[in-house]
Chain A
Amino acid sequence: MADYALKIRRYDPESGEAAYWADYDVELPPERSVLDGILQVKDREDASIAIRCSCRAAICGSCGVRINGQSALACNTRIGEAAERARDGAITVEPMGNMPVIKDLVTDMEAVHWKKIRRVVPWLLPAEEPPEGQEYIVPPEAMLDVTQTMACIQCGVCVSACLSLEVDPEFIGPAALAKAYRFVGDPRDGEHESRLKDLAEDPHGIYDCTHCFACVEVCPKDVAPMNQIMRLRRKATNDFRIKDSNNGYGHEKAFVNIIEKWGTLFEAQLLPRSFGDGSLIKGQLRPQGAKQLTESLPTVYHGLKSGKVNPIKALVHPKLPDQKQVRRIIKEIESQDERIELNLYIVGEMAEETE
């Protein structure tokens, strides 16, 4: 048993008062959870603290909160570890971010999370009538593969942590895009291309993610939403060659081409190449490319002014000394019959082989 100080963000919509911090003490073994701590306060001291919870085992997805500022499930955060990371000795618990608060630690997930989930047409659209009296025959790996996104418990913790969402509340977001992969990766679904096209064309879709890794870090079920977003992009660009008006396709191609050529990012070439599906010449010739380039001029100007873009660096970019290795890696990857995708259910298998 040890004593812990909890600082809980309280908010009562009926009181007419603003949210405030309230302090509580709890007594628990360090391996118990922050949720157990909150439940102890409710049981012994103040049952009016509102928090959604049910399974106590990271299964139901109810108890997403922010602990010491970090988005997490309260039931699978050990109280002892949270106390070690706490500033000023008290573990802070506040409602999830990027969502309105209803009361205390309860957020309005319907208004944000579930709306975004419904945005991605979250049900199977079968390619064909189900076979009579039997199952669809599909490769075992494909089922294991989508099982990683099926493992999502819709807790919203990634939504709470997503940096892009903070800037663009319209962003479809990590959980919903991971849900989209669950269908795009499912061989039984017949709408892969139209789903991808839709998510690529949406200005708040797959190209709105800034690869900040926050969702991967906080997800309690290892769904790795960012990885699923990247896989959606790869499918959109490589498999279906979807050229979207957000220019995500060109951007991706330009990125790879630049790395292949120089080994590191040559920023000055990224923009023009992006408008030419990766090619510099095409990018400068295309009328729509020229238009978009012109529209980007203010950004370039700001870059020059702030020193981020340097006119000399814009023209010459050093190659990596062992640039050949980079090319070799790219060739190697391209020569694979199938793309190597990271998936946790399959990683287990690989881990075994390398042991």
Chain B
Amino acid sequence: MPKHDVLVIGAGLAGQRAALAAAEQGTSVGIISKVHPVRSHSNAAQGGINAALNPEDSWESHAFDTIKGSDYLGDQDAIEIMCREAPGELLDLEHLGVTFHRNEEGRLGTRAFGGASAARTYYVADITGQAILHVLYEQLMKFSEVHRYEEWFTTALVQDEDGRIAGAITRNIRDGAIELFQAKAVILATGGNGQLYDPTTNALICTGDGIAMAYRIGAPLMDMEMIQYHPTTLAGLGLLITEGARGEGAHLYNAQGERFMEKYAPNKMELASRDVVSRAEQTEINEGRGFPDGTVALDITVVPRKRIHEALREIVNVGRDFAGVDITREPIHIKPGNHYTMGGIRTDVDGRTSIPGLYAAGECACVSVHGGNRLGANSLLDTLVFGRRSGLHAAEAVHGLPLRDPDLAQLEDEERRISGIVDRDGSGRRVSEVKAELGKTMDKYVAVFRDEDGLRTGLDAVQRLKEEATDLAIDDKGAVFNQDVLGALELQFMLDNAEAIVLSAIERKESRGAQFRTDFPERNDDDWLKHINVSANGSEPEISYSDVTMTQWEPQERTY
């Protein structure tokens, strides 16, 4: 039985940052990831990371932009911490070796991003997430004390008799062995759940595993209705064109050649908040001013070619390889697409969840710094700041504590559950079928525009799929690299996420941030300036509310 003081599940930016922070405190750390750490989805972040580092900028300005961007649903104490700590975090990364873009003087240089009042996005060409992820992994290789479990899949969390976290049950993908990892603290850093939607910018591994595992043991999920649709994704595949393109000056046009953002956000134009731009695009498309393939056009040709090659190389490749378009010479067709989950496991500013000893950080957590809508380039920052804070806090908190005794029956139950899936005779639906239906359902009913009827239809479908997912057909009966059984486990995680999302969306009877209800089109601060929480108490999900923390910024009308 592997034993660690601190066990980190997930090795994206949040997980690796947490592991390094905990290890620096001298605690024994294990880090688990279902894919090799550098394959984690953090590598997809192209645009950059926000920090008010420039002396002319201020953390207050960054915080205000974030709060306004969140449509006042973000918790201001957490946002203050994130924005204050951003410059230090960025410098730490630079010192570790991230090859950030420099200006002429050899100092860190910035680009503009949506919803921000200053150019405060730091970047590495358009491979920012990849560069940071690989540099953190360099540090992880250097810190040989951190034990890496690469290609291990966690299936459940375990508690001791008092309900304190005691470890996690994990399957070694390589040989199928199931192990109980014992730990004094567990940090979940398992990322988002974009795979609930089809299409999505998220990778195939983004299946909300950690969110579901925490939910299953009673941790409340918060702001789950807040699902971000990114304004510039490729139709069909859903691949992302970074906001960096608009940051560098690209324009949006409808099929009639109008720069339609003039109507929706006359001041910030293409660089308004994502929810605003996505709604504008979807309105144009719904009202018949889009292209026949249900898209509008992003024109990057207005950016100088030299600059495109230096700063947007990756999307030159994406355009060429995946859309057959040379973005330096012609506009590319895009539409809003599923991108990010603002909600997640509710935590405090040190990453603590409601379960003693269980922490969460990164996209799977909800601190909440993004509230109703996340600003571009704030997510990498969130993963790093709160990843580090969780790692530090966990390391200090477990100091001198004994290992907890997990209830070994949980391991047997889990083994039985998994072998039950593998040994099934194959009468039910295929994992891929159920997943495809879920994706289409979510994209249809729980997308940019929502209403009660649609959401109810969505909920019925999700609940039926949940039932069907208890009897899936499995082709692979083997132990080694059985991706079929992992797919079935992921699908069950996804369906728990979906249920929490739809329930929260039905509950919030107003429009705020990413949640736009056509039946309640206004923001209603009197009744709904509060977080919605869902928790699974026994098996029936339960809804509750929690307050939004305000420090110095009163809600205002939100225009761009």
Contacts and interface: CB of A to CB of B under 8 A. Distances in A.
Interface of A: 12-14, 31, 42-44, 46-48, 50-62, 76, 102-104, 106, 109-110, 117-118, 122-124, 126, 130, 133-140, 143-144, 146-147, 150-154, 183, 186, 188-189, 344-349, 351-352, 355
A133 B124 CA distance: 20
Given A60-B203, A154-B134, 4 more contacts: A12-B480, A146-B99, A153-B43, A348-B309
Interface in B40-97: 40-41, 43-44, 91, 94-97
Interface of B: 35-36, 38-41, 43-44, 91, 94-97, 99-109, 124-125, 127, 130-131, 134-135, 138-139, 141-142, 150, 174, 203-205, 237, 239, 304-306, 308-310, 313-314, 317-318, 321-322, 324, 430-433, 436, 474-484, 487
B44 A61 contact: no
A56 B199 CA distance: 12
A123 B130 contact: no
13 contacts: A44-B430, A46-B475, A54-B41, A55-B203, A56-B239, A59-B314, A60-B43, A76-B322, A130-B94, A144-B101, A147-B125, A154-B38, A345-B310
Contacts of A13: 480
Contact of B95 (A109, A136, A345): A136
B127 A147 contact: yes
Given A58-B321, A123-B138, A124-B138, A138 B102 contact: yes
Query: What are the 9 A-B residue pairs with the smallest beta carbon separation, nearest first?
Result: A348-B309, A48-B476, A124-B97, A43-B432, A352-B306, A130-B95, A140-B102, A47-B484, A123-B138
Given A12-B478, A47-B483, A133 B99 contact: no
B309 A351 contact: yes
B458 to A, nearest CB: 23
B142 A348 contact: no
A44 B314 CA distance: 32
Contacts of A46: 475
A237 to B, nearest CB: 25
Contact of A143 (B102, B321, B432): B102
Contacts of A50: 480-481, 483
A300 to B, nearest CB: 44
Contacts of B483: 42, 47-48, 50-51
Contacts of A347: 309
Contacts of A43: 430, 432-433, 436
Contacts of A57: 44, 237, 239, 318, 322
Nearest to B46: A59
Contacts of B103: 140
A314 to B, nearest CB: 48
Nearest to B477: A48
Contact of B478 (A14, A110, A146, A183): A14
Contacts of B476: 47-48
B138 A122 contact: yes
Contacts of B38: 60-61, 153-154
Contacts of A52: 35, 39
Given A46-B475, A50-B483, A147-B125, A348 B106 contact: no
B481 A59 contact: no
B431 to A, nearest CB: 7
Nearest to B129: A59
Given A31-B324, A61-B38, A348 B104 contact: no
Contacts of B41: 54-55, 60
B309 A186 contact: no
A348 B475 contact: no
Nearest to A189: B97
A133 B309 contact: no
Contact of A150 (B131, B142, B318, B482): B131
